[in-house]
Amino acid sequence: MLPLLETNIIGKENKEYYKLVVDENNYSFSIFKNTDTKILILSEIKKDATITIDILENSKVELIFISYGSSNYDLNINVSRDSSLKLYTSDYYESDATINKTINLKGTNAYLYSYEYLPVLNNNITGKFSLNHLDKNTTSEAYLYYLSRGNGTIDRDAISTIEKDMTNSSSKEVIKGMLLSRCSKIFAKPVLIIKCDDVHAEHGCAIGTIDTNEIYYLMSRGLSYEDALKIISKSLINPIYKEIDNEEFLSTVKAMLDKTIG
């Protein structure tokens, strides 16, 4: 069994695996400073809540955060100076929910790489993914992958803000949405709010059905249409699976997320 997350300071060891049961309104914990760590969290959202994670100075953190449940939640992560965060997130919901994720680069030389996989099936997910550059020389890369099946709808924007005087900062955000049925919908747009010069910012968004050429290629190799569809859809989840090195954690996550591709 994965240990329950019951401390407000984690990351002192090289690798840690936790289950977080959210049954209160607010949770907060910190990644210890001067730490090089990899942390896997499986979060059961039982109540509307705000989860706050502070990554202290001069730390290198890889965080895999997978949530499931039936309630809304906000995930706020603060990255301090000279720290880097490699973040992988996914949310498995069978009911409607609002999910907001905000990453604040609060110190000079703070760095973020983020990969999100968000699927829906006959349910609606709304919310925002926000990146805030709050100091100079900060860098962010965000890749958001959405998958909608059945009558599912995703309505979610990605917003990157570089505040005034935060020079030499860089922001990149990419949204890709895959529609697997005629009734599925994805509404998303990348937004850049740039308040100073001497920065680099770029964004992109592509939403559509699966390329029929890809389906044809796989079927020409002997696969059925359904299996070809699954392989292409699973390519959105594989980057997360590859980062999970705990067998119990991986089997639990795969049992949930593999359902999202049919």
Domains in the chain: boundaries? 9-210
Tens-digit pLDDT profile for residues 63-109? 999 999 999 999 999 999 999 999 999 999 999 999 999 999 999 99
* Cα angle 113-116-121, degrees, rounded to a multiple of 5: 175
Q: What is the pLDDT of residue 17?
A: 85
Report the alpha-carbon distance of residue 128 to residue 130 in Å, rounded: 6
pLDDT at 198: 93
Give the helix/strand (H/E) hosting 147: strand 139-149
Q: Which two tokens stand for residue 152?
A: 């599912």
Highest mean pLDDT among 12-26, 93-107, 212-226: 93-107
Mean pLDDT of 234-248: 94
Please state the pTM of the whole predicted model: 0.94
- Judging by beta carbons within 10 Å of its beta carbon (0-12, 13-18, 19+), is residue 214 exposed, middle or buried? middle
Query: Tokens 């240990």 belong to which residue?
Result: 3
pLDDT at 52 > cutoff 70 = yes
Distance between CA atoms of residues 85 and 111, nearest Å = 6
Q: What does the pLDDT look like over 118-128, one tens digit per residue?
A: 999 999 999 99
Helices (H), 172-258: 212-219, 225-234, 238-241, 247-257
